[in-house]
Structure 1
Amino acid sequence: MPMFAVNTHRIDPYSNFKFRVSWDNQPVAGLSKMSALKKSTEVTEWRAAADNSIVRKLPGRTKFEPVTLEAGLSHDRKFLDWANMVNNPQGDPAASLLNYRKEVIVQVLNLQGTPAMQFKLSRAWVSEFQALPEMDANANAVAIQSVKFEFENFELDLAITEPAET
């Protein structure tokens, strides 16, 4: 069975360095890294007294691991603005109860830059924001800012289908 329905000639899976993340219909500028998109379901063990010493296993609660995004430090305020919606430096009344949760879109791109897969992450909100990395005058590196967000579910967007590659 081929791995790709449209591009049956293709034998290579998608690369992890071609992706796009966006919210509020705007892609994140200078994004360099995203942690894994992951969910796990707890195991509930159960045993009836009359069973032959067998422990049965049932699915329990499902949780979604937070996602961390890293971007090169620039004048783009996307991370800061979202983090301030959850915890505003001007105090609790300035926090945005209406807008702090976002739908985050993660696109996997093929080598031509065309979206090949898309995931929608629901009800995301910032739990951690790093405005500046450790600064080091002796280093030769890009300054990275990061945001960690929690979310409640993700789903594959079936409207995005495998693009024909030329």
Structure 2
Amino acid sequence: MPDDGASQSTNVWPMPKFYFRVKWDSNEMAFQEVSGLDIQSEEIKYRHGNSKDFSVIKMPGMKKFGNVTMKKGVFKGDNKFWDWLVQIKMNTIKRVPVTISLLDEEGNDTMVWELTNAWPTKISSTDLKSEGNEVAIETIEIVHEGLKITNG
């Protein structure tokens, strides 16, 4: 009798990446793509002059967070990106928390990325082609001051 998969553990398969939710402050927004969820620890190289080893010591330094890029379809009357970007004035901007959640089949959080003090640094409008047959996509790039990753 063929195996129907009923006896398999639910932890056997990795999660698909196509079912996710983005909350930005208190609003939920639908995106086609999210990228740039990374953290890097810069290295500090050090060697003192009387060391008998002719090599450097490498230590962890400051953490560096990549910019997060999000893409979504253009909808009539939807100016949320532009409204947020226009608020930037002489070193003042509304910084908001952004939460990106990878969801399971029931819509529950399985992995969550929380961005601290996020704000827009770049918005790209769609390209326009008279012979194109694609959906118009706009892109927002946001910077943030911290990334916390949790498993649901």
Bin for the TM-score computed over the shorter chain: 0.7 to 0.9
Structure 2: gaps of 5 or more residues = 1-7
Q: Hey, what's the Cα distance between the residues in 2 that align with 1:8 and 1:48? A: 53
Alignment match of 2:83 (pick from 73, 77, 81): 81
Q: Hey, what's the Cα distance between the residues in 2 that align with 1:110 and 1:36? A: 21
Q: CA deviation at 1:113?
A: 2.2
| Higher relative strand content | 2
Please state whether the residue corresponding to 2:141 is helix, strand or coil: strand
Q: CA deviation at 1:36?
A: 2.8
Q: CA deviation at 1:114?
A: 2.1
Alignment match of 2:133 (pick from 128, 132, 140): 140
- Structure 1 segment 11-50 matched on structure 2, within 5 A: 11-29=12-30, 31-50=31-50
Partner of 2:123: 129
Contact residue 117 and residue 157 of structure 1 kept, 8 A: yes
Q: Hey, what's the Cα distance between the residues in 1 that align with 2:117 and 2:141? A: 14
Aligned residues: 143
Report the residue type matching 1:68 in the other structure.
T
Q: CA deviation at 1:154?
A: 1.1
Relative to the length of structure 2, the TM-score reads 0.84
RMSD: 2.0
Please state whether the residue corresponding to 2:87 is helix, strand or coil: helix
Report the residue type matching 1:38 in the other structure.
D
Q: After the TM superposition, which segments of 4 or more aligned residues of structure 1 sit over 4 Å from their partners?
A: none
Report the residue type matching 2:146 in the other structure.
N
Report the residue type matching 2:13 in the other structure.
D
Report the residue type matching 1:42 in the other structure.
E
Q: CA deviation at 1:157?
A: 4.4
Gap change, CA 1:85 and 1:79, over 3 Å in 2: same
Alignment match of 1:151 (pick from 136, 141, 144): 144
Q: CA deviation at 1:156?
A: 2.6
- Calculate percent identity across the aligned residue pairs: 27
How far does the alpha carbon of each residue in 1:111-141 deviate from its partner, in whole angstroms, 9 at most, with x for none? 33222222211011100012x2110011111
Relative to the length of structure 1, the TM-score reads 0.78
